[in-house]
Amino acid sequence: MKNSEIKQLTTKEILEKIGDEKNTLNRLKMSHAVSPLENPNKITDVKRDIARLKTELRSRELSEN
């Protein structure tokens, strides 16, 4: 997910997306523990997406103050 796409989302959508991505991350970690993933870089990509979402959420909080 690109930063430009994230900036177009509403705050509520960002919060929902963070929850979805965290669930995805947990599933990927469990799957990887049981049997190796074909592309373990997916875990890193999901972590980065979560960080991007949280960064945008925090910047919106700071701009409101």
Summarize pLDDT for 8-60 with one digit per residue, the tens.
Answer: 999 999 999 999 999 999 999 999 999 999 999 999 999 999 999 999 999 99
Check which CATH number belongs to the domain holding 30 and give it.
Answer: 1.10.287
Q: Where are the beta strands (DSSP E) in the chain?
A: none
Q: What is the pLDDT of residue 2?
A: 87
In sign, the C-alpha dihedral spanning 21, 18, 22, 48 is positive
Domain range enclosing 26 = 3-64
- The tokens for 65 are 């103050």
pLDDT > 90? residue 65: no
Number of structural domains, the chain?
Answer: 1
Burial state string for 34-43 with b = 16 or more CB within 10 A and e = fewer than 16: eeeeeeeeeb
Q: Yes or no: say if 43 and 28 are a contact pair by the CB < 8 Å rule.
A: yes
Q: What is the pLDDT of residue 1?
A: 78
